[in-house]
A and B are shown apart, each in its own frame.
Chain A
Amino acid sequence: MSDATANMTIYLKVWRQASATAEGKFVDYKVDHVSPDMSFLEMFDVLNDQLVKKGESPIAFDHDCREGICGMCSMMINGKAHGGQKGTTTCQLHMRKFKSGDAIVVEPWRAKAFPLIKDLVVDRSAFDKIIQAGGFISAQTGNAPDANANLIPKTVADEAMDAAACIGCGACVASCPNGSAMLFMGAKISQLALLPQGQPEAPRRALNMVKSHDELLFGNCTNHAECEATCPKEIGLEHIARMNREYTKATFTYHEKARGGDGA
């Protein structure tokens, strides 16, 4: 709790890279007085504070809410996305899960579609691009019917919520041996395919999002399920399956004919 228990020593091996184009390398750090009650990121705060006071450049890492919901934090810890603890983001991983004297390797997410920005910070805007391709329901403000006009059974709403829980952190891509974003994309396609509001656009959505995913150079899914295992929100492969169904259905049933203007 207080300083009395802040007695762990941790040996870190951290990827340092000044910019996207600079040469990167691992740098070793020894962090003393680590408390078991610290979060993993608080240990980095302590280290950075020491680095700043020594006049060295602190380690850049992404973080924001620090309560496991914003999806900003992203560290590959000892070869596992977010450290591999079930249902846990890096910010909620605590040092009591480690022992004093442990050596920990920390790397950024590695994926062609997530170019590195600095140290442990990567650019995940590819996720926004996938959503832009169709991860929405086109309900212009003001259009909406009464909220209870469409009945949605509890089981369906619950399953949609399971998928919607995605925080867009990218752990699925980072941990997938193929660097695939199918769980991220599948979660959104599945959520909207489950809901009646999502039906009108469902085929276009599936076709366009998958196209965008492929163009962004994410890898292909080969059903390892490592994404599911590291997803901090424990989103399951069934959502990838639903996406596969939606995509197949759209391929064989959806056809958009080119038509002229509506006139006026």
Chain B
Amino acid sequence: MSSAVSRYFTSSIGRKQLIALTGLGLCGFLVAHLLGNFTLFISSDAFNLYAHKLMSLGPLVYVAEAGLAGMFALHLGLAIKMTIENKTARGQKYYMKTRTGRGETLMSATMPYTGLILFVFLVLHILQFKFGPVYNTEIDGVFMRDLYRTVVEYFQSPLNTAWYVIAMSAAAMHTAHGFQSAFQTFGFNHGTWTPKLKLLGIAYAVFVAGGFAAISIFLHVKGA
């Protein structure tokens, strides 16, 4: 690695830009994921067809999955390293530390924790669905996985549904800070546009996390 590259990847600003970049990438993924999942509101066939279509992209699926996994691993790894460094940077803790109310927010303060919840959620999420019970179905003569059934069965449990709502609240908090924060990290800060960007971040967080939570509640209420 050339010195400029290694310097960038080891510097505080370079690393947090990578966290921001992967974070924004994951934000994008979430939107796509949610839009696809809206088919759950339509019908079982709509959802299964959508899932089938995605899975029949062949090697592209693996490329996308690897890309996502890479982004996630980088995001997580760098964030953990940064969090440890940040705790160490304080040295002896304050006996009393209070917020002014003009800076740090609950959202910004809990980024490592909401991040951790999302990590646990993601592992469980993949186990529950991707590697969950496999059912098959036939639509218009095509055999495919009945992922809809796997999903609906899961949300029959009120506990499962509640866990999803909690995890999505964490996602909302995480992205509400993370989305706008990423722009600051890249050096975008403007008297007029930054406040609007902050609002957009909150709108994004409410839309995405609210969307996913709404789906889980919808499926829970609708029943199998």
Which of A31-39, A89-97, A138-146, A241-249 lines the interface with chain B?
A241-249
Which residues of the partner chain B approach A180 to less than 8 Å between Cβ atoms?
12, 86, 89
A107, B96: Cβ atoms under 8 Å? yes
Chain A residues with CB below 8 A from B94, complex form = 76, 79, 107, 110
Residue of B nearest to A112 (CB): B91
0/1 per residue, A191-215, Cβ < 8 Å to B?
A: 0000000000000000100110110
Within 8 A of A (CB), among B173-201: 177, 181, 184-191, 194
Q: How many A-B residue pairs have CB under 8 A?
A: 150
A residues near B102, Cβ cutoff 8 Å: 86, 225, 228-229
* Complex Cα gap A218–B108 (Å): 19
Contact status B98-A219, CB under 8 Å: no
In the docked arrangement, what's the CA distance between A246 and B189, Å?
13
The reply on A167 being an interface residue by CB < 8 A is no
Q: Is B127 among interface residues, defined by CB-CB distance under 8 A?
A: no
Q: In the complex, what distance in Å separates the CA atom of A247 from the CA atom of B17?
A: 11
**Interface flag for B82 (CB, 8 Å):** yes
Q: Is A79's CB under 8 angstroms from B88's CB?
A: no
Q: Are A223 and B15 also in contact (CB < 8 A) when A80-B98, A217-B88 are? A: no
CB-CB < 8 A to A110: which residues of B? 90-94
Q: Is the CB of B13 within 8 A of A241?
A: no
Pair A244/B90 contact, Cβ less than 8 Å: no
Please state if B185 and A223 are interface contacts (CB–CB under 8 Å).
yes
B90 pairs with A219, CB closer than 8 A: yes
Q: Interface size of A by Cβ–Cβ distance < 8 Å?
A: 52
Which chain A residues border B184 with CB–CB below 8 Å? 223, 237, 240-241, 244
Query: Could you tell me the distance in whole angstroms from the C-beta of A259 to the nearest C-beta in chain B?
Result: 16
Could you tell me if A244 and B108 are in contact, using CB atoms closer than 8 angstroms?
no
A242 pairs with B187, CB closer than 8 A = yes
Contacts of A78 in B (CB 8 A): 96, 98
Assembly CA distance A179 to B100 (angstroms): 16
A30 touches B (CB below 8 Å): no
Task: Point out the residue from A76, A220, A224, A226 that lies within 8 Å of B16, measured CB to CB.
Answer: A220
**B143 at the A interface (CB under 8 A):** no
- The answer to whether the Cβ of A105 comes within 8 Å of any Cβ in the partner chain is yes
* Neighbour of B104 across the interface among A15, A207, A224, CB < 8 A: A224
Closest to B181 in A: A223
Instruction: Flag if A247 contacts B90 (CB, 8 Å).
Output: no
How far in angstroms is the closest Cβ of chain A from B8? 5
Chain A residues positioned under 8 Å from B88 (CB to CB): 112, 217, 219
CB of A244 within 8 A of CB of B100, answer no
Given contact pairs A177-B86, A223-B181, A244 touches B93 in the complex (Cβ within 8 A): no
Contact between B187 and A225, CB atoms less than 8 A apart: no
B209 to chain A, nearest CB (A): 20
Interfacial residues, chain B to chain A (CB-CB below 8 A): 4, 7-8, 10-17, 82, 85-86, 88-105, 108-109, 111, 177, 181, 184-191, 194
13 further A-B pairs in the complex, CB-CB below 8 A; given A220-B12, A247-B13, A255-B4: A76-B97, A78-B96, A112-B91, A113-B89, A182-B12, A207-B7, A219-B89, A221-B16, A226-B100, A228-B102, A229-B104, A238-B190, A243-B13
